[in-house]
Amino acid sequence: MSKFLNGFFCTVFLFSSNAFAQSTQSATSYPSKPIRIIVPFAAGGAGDTAARVLSQKLSSILNQSVLIENKPGAGAQIGTQFVASSPPDGYTILAGSSAIVVNPALNAATATYQPEKDFAPIVIGATQPMVIVVNQALGVKNFHQLKEIAGKEKLSFASAGAGTQPHVACERIFNGLWKLNIPHIPYKGISPAITGLVGGEVPIYCGAPVGVGQFVKQGKLQVLLVTSETRVPNFPEVPTVIELGLPEMKDDIWQGFFAPAKTPPAIIQKLNLALNQALKSPEVIEKLEQNDFVMLGGTPKQASDFISSEVVRWGKIATEVSALPMQ
């Protein structure tokens, strides 16, 4: 071997060894400063609720401050892209949802990130069903009545943002199955959408059930269906999509945590262990179950495999909805 090549490989070896040593050292001392969890939706929604509940427990487990920062807009793309572009050091992580996969699937030509390429999955933490809710002023008591009225009156529906999973779900029902033109009104999160529903800005809401229950108890809103396989404890009288003859619409919104791609595996593992520990905490379980979450957890590999399967699944759904006149 020539002296040049011998020197070259020695240099590469030393560089790789130093990089590994620095990575290991940074993981050992991690976290040495506050961690930011970016929520790509407005405060008060499903992802925000889950992130805030878990952040409190995560802070005590890691013995470090964990801060929540909301960056809503563009159907979660603004906050998601922010994390994708952040340094891969474990101090900026995403409290992501199904939107991290849905948006690139629906907008492949303009997507600014790819879920499998630009992120390192940490854990899929929990799931919850979607609901279709109406303002009581509409006079609708069940799902079939909504179809009848929608065929006669001009209605619109709200969601937490364009290109989100609930937006697509209701487009598939209203425009796909019912063949009705019910315009979509996108909001910057669940809380603003529900506020708009209660205030009469829109008559229908499609999304997570977080924040709905209090207005149902007040007689202001009516839940018409849940997208889960079985009925949920907080709305035991509400039928499922299976009961309503729509098995193809069975789906859940999942919540997960992601770091920027190239974050050291040791840091990913430390975050994964801490989040799994938090998810098993009785106080966390109690608070999340109050909002119809089902706890998951698991390894980074399981989270990565799940995201890959979701990319495939949403690729097929994107093909289906591409023929619909989505708003």
Instruction: Kindly state whether residues 102 and 72 are assigned to the same domain.
Output: yes
Whether 179 maps to a domain, the answer reads yes
Whether 236 maps to a domain, the answer reads yes
pLDDT at residue 194 is higher than 60? yes
Looking at residue 241, its pLDDT comes to 96
For tokens 């020695």, the residue is 10
Looking at residue 106, its pLDDT comes to 87
Got the DSSP string for 75-132?
A: GGHHHHHHHHTS-SSSSEEEEEETHHHHHHHH-TTT-S--HHHHEEEEEEEEEEE-EE
- The DSSP code for 239 is P
Q: Of the candidates 165, 156, 206, 211, which has an alpha carbon nearest to the alpha carbon of residue 184?
A: 156
**pLDDT confidence bin for 8, thresholds 50/70/90:** very low
Instruction: Kindly state whether residues 260 and 243 are assigned to the same domain.
Output: no
Instruction: Kindly state whether residues 62 and 120 are assigned to the same domain.
Output: yes
For 163, the 3-state DSSP assignment is coil
CA–CA dist 92, 126 (Å, integer)? 20
Looking at residue 120, its pLDDT comes to 98
Instruction: Kindly state whether residues 233 and 313 are assigned to the same domain.
Output: no
Q: What is the pLDDT averaged over residues 49-54? A: 94
Q: Which long-range contacts (CB under 8 A, 24 or more apart) does 173-181 make?
A: 173/132, 173/246, 173/249, 174/150, 175/324, 175/325, 175/326, 176/320, 176/321, 176/324, 177/246, 178/147, 178/150, 178/151, 180/147, 180/150, 180/151, 181/325
For 39, the 3-state DSSP assignment is strand
Instruction: Kindly state whether residues 163 and 243 are assigned to the same domain.
Output: yes
Taking each helix axis from N to C end, the angle separating 99-106 and 77-84, rounded to the nearest 10 degrees, works out to 100
Structure tokens at 235: 């709305």
Buried b or exposed e, range 40-59, using 16+ CB within 10 angstroms: bbbbbbbbbbbbbbbbebbb
Q: How many domains does the chain have?
A: 2
Q: What is the pLDDT averaged over residues 201-227? A: 95
Q: Of the candidates 123, 177, 45, which has an alpha carbon nearest to the alpha carbon of residue 168?
A: 177
Instruction: Kindly state whether residues 84 and 182 are assigned to the same domain.
Output: no
The larger pLDDT score, comparing residue 46 to residue 196, is at 196
Looking at residue 7, its pLDDT comes to 53
- The neighbour count for residue 120, using CB atoms within 10 Å, is 21
Asked whether 204 and 197 are in contact (CB, 8 A), the reply is: yes
Q: What is the pLDDT averaged over residues 272-300? A: 95
Whether 37 maps to a domain, the answer reads yes
Is the Cα dihedral 281, 276, 213, 94 positive or negative?
Answer: positive
Looking at residue 21, its pLDDT comes to 47
Asked whether 159 and 170 are in contact (CB, 8 A), the reply is: yes
Whether 8 maps to a domain, the answer reads no
Whether 9 maps to a domain, the answer reads no
Q: What is the pLDDT averaged over residues 24-46? A: 87
pLDDT at residue 291 is higher than 90? no
Looking at residue 203, its pLDDT comes to 98
pLDDT at residue 222 is higher than 60? yes
Instruction: Kindly state whether residues 124 and 180 are assigned to the same domain.
Output: no
Instruction: Kindly state whether residues 101 and 207 are assigned to the same domain.
Output: no
CATH number at residue 67: 3.40.190.150
Q: What is the pLDDT averaged over residues 144-159? A: 96
pLDDT at residue 36 is higher than 50? yes
Q: What is the pLDDT averaged over residues 174-188? A: 93
Last residue of a domain, one of 229, 249, 269: 249
Domain residues for the domain of 188 are: 131-249
**pLDDT confidence bin for 325, thresholds 50/70/90:** low
Whether 190 maps to a domain, the answer reads yes
Using a pLDDT cut of 70, give the percent of the chain over it: 91
CATH number at residue 187: 3.40.190.10
Instruction: Kindly state whether residues 138 and 236 are assigned to the same domain.
Output: yes
Last residue of a domain, one of 186, 219, 249: 249
Last residue of a domain, one of 227, 249, 271: 249
Whether 10 maps to a domain, the answer reads no
Instruction: Kindly state whether residues 289 and 149 are assigned to the same domain.
Output: no
Instruction: Kindly state whether residues 283 and 301 are assigned to the same domain.
Output: yes
- The neighbour count for residue 217, using CB atoms within 10 Å, is 9
Provide the mean pLDDT of the chain. 90
Instruction: Kindly state whether residues 121 and 136 are assigned to the same domain.
Output: no
Q: What is the pLDDT of residues 87-131, one digit of tens each?
A: 999 999 999 999 899 989 988 888 889 999 999 999 999 999 999
Looking at residue 5, its pLDDT comes to 45
**pLDDT confidence bin for 18, thresholds 50/70/90:** low
pLDDT at residue 199 is higher than 60? yes
Looking at residue 150, its pLDDT comes to 95
Whether 15 maps to a domain, the answer reads no
**Start-end of H helices in the chain:** 3-29, 46-62, 77-84, 99-106, 115-118, 143-150, 165-171, 190-198, 213-217, 265-279, 282-289, 300-321
